[in-house]
Amino acid sequence: DIVMTQSPDSLAVSLGERATINCKSSQSVLYSSNNKNYLAWYQQKPGQPPKLLIYWASARESGVPDRFSGSGSGTDFTLTISSLQPEDVAVYYCQQYYTSRTFGQGTKVEIK
């Protein structure tokens, strides 16, 4: 199984500042035949189901604010919130879908 490891486990960022979450996979999730990274990002707020933010590592889901962006390839990926808003307080998960489906352990984002 592909193991997904996120860092940090939690971070506190001032309002309006940038938040960066990293995700590393135990093997590449880049499919060479289509040059796509099988990597997604989700946001989960307390008491709610997760919400899809990003797929194909960098494609933003419809309706997701453009302050959220995804980058990376192969085994190393990043979710960036360019200007943290109060409503962005949540736990964020990466997930690979290259082989089966596995999630990272989550990163909790709080306001400093």
In the complex, the residues that contact another protein under the rule CB under 8 A are 1, 38, 40, 42, 44, 48-52, 55-56, 61, 93, 95, 97-98, 100-106
- Least distance (Å) between residue 17 CB and another protein: 25
Q: Is 32 left (phi over 0), alpha (psi -120 to 50) or beta?
A: alpha
Residues 6+ apart with CB under 8 A from 8: 21, 22, 107
Residue 42 Cβ, how far from another protein at the closest point, in Å? 8
Minimum distance between the CB of residue 85 and another protein, rounded to whole angstroms?
Answer: 22
Exposure b/e, 68-99, CB count within 10 A at least 16 = b: bbbebeebebbbebeebeeebbbbbbbbbebe
CB nearer to another protein: pick between 50 and 72: 50
CA dist 56 and 37 (Å) reads 5
Taking the least distance from each CB to another protein, the nearer of 16 and 32 is 32
- Provide the minimum distance between the beta carbon of 91 and another protein in the complex, in angstroms, as a whole number: 8
Whose Cβ is closer to another protein: residue 14's or residue 27's?
27
Residue among 73 and 103 whose Cβ is closer to another protein: 103
Look up residue 47 and give its two tokens: 């008491």
